[in-house]
Amino acid sequence: MTKIRHLPEAPTQVRSLVSGEAIDAHRHDDHQVVYAARGVLAITTDRGSWVAPATRAIWVPAGTVHAHQAHGGLELHLVGLPAADNPLRLTEPSVLAVGPLLRELIRAYTGSPHDGSPERRRLRTVLLDQLRASPLQPVHLPAPTDPRLRELCAILRADPADDRTLAALGVQVGASDRTLTRLFKADLGMTFPQWRTQLRLYRALVLLAENTPVTTVAHACGWSSTSAFIDVFRRAFGHTPGTHHAR
């Protein structure tokens, strides 16, 4: 059995992780905002995985058992908040949009002296206000519980470019497309096309963090053309894959 570390406080700090480095499963009594100013961060719980490039942060509620995974060299900013301070009133991990102001507030707060000065208290107040105003950005890959769905999702995780229909995949896992359609909605809260798109975007972020060319990413993740990939990526993240590294 994997030992889960219990860290009473969620630290406010800046850390650097090399590509592929992981932080094993752990939990805090405090909430935590996790932001990667460089690279792509993935957080995994028993409910699924969340991924965030530099235009996103991940909200991890107090008590949530989670692990971190770095893709690309990671500049990781961690903001700990007492359990009584839940500006988003969320009980599940969530991905938040990070605009220029929130980005600089996170960087300033994690980089400033951890004292009780009036300046730091004011900075914290503005940071909490900006978190409350941050819209949710659902880049979430939920984990299935049904064994047939787990098998199907594992097939697509191994090859996101697999473009077989749900009916064709159902033949391999021993379930009809009608049954699988129902399971996707009941177990994962989304349709099969929505889940597959989330998977492909997730994998695309990882490949881009590893400096894979955009055209290669598009084909490896199952888009019919580079332009189709760019369009979906822009609608999901607000910028093109070509500008992703600069951000």
pLDDT, tens only, 100-115: 999 999 999 998 888 8
For residues 158-172, give the mean pLDDT.
Answer: 96
Q: What is the torsional sign of CA 81, 84, 88, 94?
A: positive
Instruction: Name the residue with higher pLDDT: 192 or 74.
Output: 192
Q: Are 167 and 131 members of one domain?
A: no
pLDDT at 52: 84
Q: Are 11 and 123 members of one domain?
A: yes
Task: Quote the pTM value.
Answer: 0.79
Domain boundary among 140, 172, 203: 140
Q: Residue 242 and residue 204: Cα distance in Å, rounded?
A: 12
Domain boundary among 140, 168, 188: 140
- Output the average pLDDT for the chain: 89
Report the share of the chain in percent with pLDDT over 90: 57
Per-residue H/E/C for 48-88: EEEEECCCEEEEECCCCCEEEEEEEEEEEEEEEECCCCCCC
Domain extent at residue 125: 5-140
Strands 94-97 vs 56-60: parallel, antiparallel or unpaired: antiparallel
Domain boundary among 87, 121, 140: 140
Q: Are 164 and 133 members of one domain?
A: no
For residues 35-42, give the mean pLDDT.
Answer: 89
Q: Residue 73 and residue 31: Cα distance in Å, rounded?
A: 25
- Total domains present in the chain: 2
CATH number of the domain enclosing 221: 1.10.10.60
Q: Are 128 and 88 members of one domain?
A: yes
Q: Are 156 and 229 members of one domain?
A: yes
For residues 167-177, give the mean pLDDT.
Answer: 95
Q: Are 16 and 99 members of one domain?
A: yes
pLDDT at 244: 63
Q: Quote the longest CA-to-CA distance of the chain.
A: 64
Lowest mean pLDDT of 109-113, 152-156, 200-204, name the range.
109-113
pLDDT at 1: 43
pLDDT at 53: 83
pLDDT tens per residue, range 226-236: 999 999 999 88
pLDDT above 50: residue 216: yes
Q: Are 157 and 68 members of one domain?
A: no
Q: Are 125 and 167 members of one domain?
A: no
Q: Are 203 and 153 members of one domain?
A: yes
pLDDT at 140: 81
CATH number of the domain enclosing 15: 2.60.120.810
pLDDT at 164: 96
Q: Are 151 and 230 members of one domain?
A: yes
Q: Are 148 and 82 members of one domain?
A: no
- Alpha-carbon Rg for the chain, nearest whole angstrom, is 19
Q: Are 159 and 217 members of one domain?
A: yes
pLDDT above 90: residue 64: yes
pLDDT at 159: 96
